[in-house]
């Protein structure tokens, strides 16, 4: 049996790919529109299609609705299309199997909820969640000092973040606070910037340090001056 093939965004492949339409359910009907003197009969339809990526075999649902021939169709995917890929460390249990360093489970769980919020255009919740995830990093590393600002000071003092990164932390705090207290609704690009900062900070604190130590162990040391003179 041959299936219909359609192009759709694949979250796993991270780009539009060919999908098989495994099954589809179509509904259609008409309704009368009373506009002025004339009466129009409008045709509507909606289709639910189960799609399977021909590359990675991931399955998703596509819902298309059109309320009249003159209006454009709206299309929604379940799960929604992801504009950005999650870093691998977010899947704490899986990452733990392949790496001897991990990001703490609580920080990973908070960040996973952040990505769900981002996928569903819940930018305020995402900004609040990113702030909470960074707070969990600070408390885990330096203990709770009573406020976000005091925690940031302690993190910087302990050498986990540079002066430049400290400025980035201020931006995360600012975005999260404005979303909670001042009705700020971050744009998609604002959220992407805050996410970039948060992801690199978390990787820096938990993963890069360890990798730098590994590299140090593998690079042959320069002989000391004393040895050269002998
Ligand atoms: Zn795919």
Write out pLDDT tens, residues 70-103.
888 888 888 877 767 789 899 988 888 888 888 9
CB-based contact 19:5 (threshold 8 Å): yes
Q: By three-state DSSP, how is residue 223 classified?
A: coil
Spatial distance between the Cα atoms of 70 and 174, rounded to a whole number of angstroms: 44
In the prediction, which pLDDT does 5 show? 95
Domains, in order of start, for the chain: 4-32+39-78 (no CATH), 88-218 (1.20.120)
Closest-CA residue to 98 (of 221, 177, 207): 207
Looking at the chain, how many residues does it have? 230
Q: 74 CA to middle of ligand 1, Å?
A: 22
Strands 4-10 and 38-53 come out as unpaired
Chain-centroid distance of CA 98 in Å reads 21
H or E element that contains 78: strand 74-78
Q: CA-CA distances (angstroms) from residue 88 to 60, 99, 167?
A: 21, 11, 26
Spatial distance between the Cα atoms of 175 and 182, rounded to a whole number of angstroms: 10
In the prediction, which pLDDT does 64 show? 93
The mean predicted confidence, pLDDT, of the chain is 86
Q: Which segments of the chain have a pLDDT < 50? A: none
Q: 87 CA to middle of ligand 1, Å?
A: 17
How much is the pTM?
0.65
Spatial distance between the Cα atoms of 178 and 219, rounded to a whole number of angstroms: 46
In the prediction, which pLDDT does 137 show? 94
Q: 3 CA to middle of ligand 1, Å?
A: 17
Under 8 Å CB-to-CB from 43, ≥6 apart: which residues?
A: 28, 29, 30, 68, 69
In the prediction, which pLDDT does 1 show? 53
Q: 112 CA to middle of ligand 1, Å?
A: 20
Neighbouring-strand partners of residue 63: 48, 76
Strands 74-78 and 59-66 come out as antiparallel
Q: What is the 3-state secondary structure (H, E, C) of 91-144?
A: CHHHHHHHCCCCCCHHHHHHHHHHHHHHHCCCHHHHHHHHHHHHHHHHHHHHCC
Helix axes 148-157, 163-181, angle to 10 degrees: 170
Q: 59 CA to middle of ligand 1, Å?
A: 9
Q: 88 CA to middle of ligand 1, Å?
A: 17
**Sign of the four-CA dihedral 146, 149, 153, 154:** positive
Q: 56 CA to middle of ligand 1, Å?
A: 4
Q: 1 CA to middle of ligand 1, Å?
A: 22
């Amino acid at each position: 049996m041959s299936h219909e093939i359609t192009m759709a965004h694949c979250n796993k492949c991270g780009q539009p790919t060919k999908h098989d339409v495994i099954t589809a359910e179509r509904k259609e009907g008409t309704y009368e529109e009373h506009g002025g003197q004339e009466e129009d009969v409008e045709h509507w339809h909606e289709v639910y299609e189960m799609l399977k990526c021909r590359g990675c075999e991931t399955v998703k649902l596509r819902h298309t609705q059109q309320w009249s021939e003159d209006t454009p169709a709206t299309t929604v995917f379940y799960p929604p299309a992801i504009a950005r890929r999650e870093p691998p460390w977010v899947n704490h249990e899986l990452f733990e199997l392949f790496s001897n360093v991990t990001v703490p489970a609580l920080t990973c769980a908070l960040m996973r909820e952040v990505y769900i919020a981002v996928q569903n255009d819940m930018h305020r919740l995402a900004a609040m969640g990113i702030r909470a995830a960074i707070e969990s990093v600070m408390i885990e590393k330096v203990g709770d000092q009573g406020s976000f600002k005091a925690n940031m000071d302690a993190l910087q003092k302990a050498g986990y973040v540079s002066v430049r990164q400290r400025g980035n932390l201020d931006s995360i705090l600012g975005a999260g606070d404005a979303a909670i207290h001042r009705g700020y609704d971050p744009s998609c690009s604002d959220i992407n910037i805050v996410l970039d900062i948060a992801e690199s900070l978390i990787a820096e604190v938990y993963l890069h340090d360890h990798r730098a130590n590994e590299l140090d162990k593998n690079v042959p040391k320069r002989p000391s001056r004393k040895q050269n003179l002998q």
